[in-house]
Amino acid sequence: MDPEISRRIEFLRYSMIFGIVILHTPPYVPLAETGSTFFDFSKAFFQHAFFRASVPVLTAISGYLLFAHSLDLNFRLLLTKKTRTLLIPLILFNLPLVIALYFFQQSFPIKHEFSVQLHPFELSVWLNAIVGLNGTPINYPLNFLRDLYVLALMAPIFGFLIRRYPWIGLIGIFTLFWFDFDGLIIRRNTMPIVFYLGGLAAVYRWDLKALDRYAVPLFAVFVALCVSIVYFDIENRNYLRVVSPVLIWPAVSLVVGTRFGLWVAGKSRYSFFTFLMHAPLLLAFWLFYKKVSTFVPYWSFWLVTPVFSAIVLSYLYTMLRGRYPRIMQFALGSR
């Protein structure tokens, strides 16, 4: 792979996952309830628009890499690899939380509305909490891994369409998932579309630098769309999700060769661990903040918490990787 393309992927992996941390920094405020201050608008801009592009961008990259390595042509290897890299981390970073909450609900039957009721034991509820079978796992951002694993299992079908009927296949995939005809097979209905587009780019060896000359206007269009979503209170962000990889990818060419771009790309090794662990850490920080919220302004919490979380998780990753390399390698899917 072209070294610059590799650096772009590394840059986007970490920057988009850091964006997901910002996206999930509590509390969630519906777009319709956005306040009138500049801070309220800025928070809504990043949480309801700008970093909503994180999942589509990461999905497009996943599709590109899967088909670039022709994994769709070897289902046994595909199943083995994706089970190791997606399903095992999905289970291991949900199961401890599920067990802990089960014993908490068993020992302290308080009247609190948890996101999931695990006690008494019910198999379907536990399966949802661990792997998101037809709901959201207890570590809710990991729903992305669940959908990505299902897409990987569907890759041979996608690959057949890409190689034989690329554009008819795109129309079919778009229609099937955009209008939710698949039901709960994939929870984010734009993921299969950008995954398929990533596959097209890999199989037909698209020039991934072709749009670099338009990097500035394309990124300006992306920012304008994000501003419009917040300003006009647009709840349907699927259009933004579909086009965001095309608008963001060229813009990376402007920074990937700079000192800042190389620094961010160098943080890529922390990206997956940060993704897996950020939600429980954000919850802990939020519970602590509520104790001191009377004299600490919320804007400072919102600005500091994502950065502090990223720092803590990078140090935690380094420590655990150094002390327990084999366990960490297994838990992180051989990353």
Answer yes or no: is pLDDT of 114 > 80: no
- What is the pLDDT at residue 135? 85
pLDDT at residue number 115: 77
Q: State pTM to two decimals.
A: 0.95
Residue 296 resides in a domain: yes
Q: Which pLDDT score is estimated for 108?
A: 77
Determine the average pLDDT of the residues in 270-291.
Answer: 95
Task: Please tell me the distance from the alpha carbon of residue 55 to that of residue 38, in angstroms, as a whole number.
Answer: 26
- The pLDDT value recorded for residue 281 is 96
**What pLDDT score does 113 carry?**
67
Residue 111 included in any domain = no
Whether 285 and 254 have beta carbons less than 8 Å apart is answered as: no
* Domain-embedded: residue 318: yes
What pLDDT digit, counting tens, does each position of 220-279 carry?
999 999 999 999 999 999 999 999 999 999 999 999 999 999 999 999 999 999 999 999
pLDDT at res. 50: 97
Residue 102 falls inside a structural domain: no
- The reply to whether 129 falls in a domain is no
**Percentage of the residues of the chain whose pLDDT score is greater than 70:** 99
Region 167-195: what's the mean pLDDT? 95
Helix axes 3-23, 38-48, angle to 10 degrees: 130
Please tell me the predicted confidence (pLDDT) of residue 117. 85
- Per-chain mean pLDDT for the chain: 94
Domain count, the chain: 1
d(CA 204, CA 265): 26
Mean pLDDT is lowest, of 127-136, 157-166, 306-315, for 127-136
Position with higher pLDDT, 110 vs 62: 62
Percentage of residues of the chain with pLDDT beyond 90 = 89
pLDDT at 14: 97
Q: Which H helix or E strand runs over 223?
A: helix 215-231
pLDDT at 110: 65
3-state secondary structure 226-290: HHHHHHCCCCCCHHHHHHHHHHHHHHHCCCCCCHHHHHHHHHHHHHHHHHHHHHHHHHHHHHHHH
Parent domain of 226: 3-93+139-331
DSSP 295: T
**Can you give the pLDDT at residue 247?**
97
259 assigned to some structural domain? yes
**Residue 112 in domain:** no
Q: Is the model's pLDDT at 112 over the cut of 80?
A: no
Q: Is residue 118 pLDDT above 90, yes or no? A: no
Judged against a pLDDT cut of 80, whether residue 180 lies above it is answered with yes
Stretch 47-63: mean pLDDT, rounded?
97
User: Contact 150/186 with Cβ under 8 angstroms?
Assistant: yes
At residue 214, does pLDDT exceed 60? yes
- Range with the poorest average pLDDT among 115-119, 210-214, 252-256, 329-333: 115-119
| Averaged pLDDT, 288-296 | 92
Least confident range of 31-35, 54-58, 106-110, 295-299 = 106-110
Residue 108 lies in a domain: no
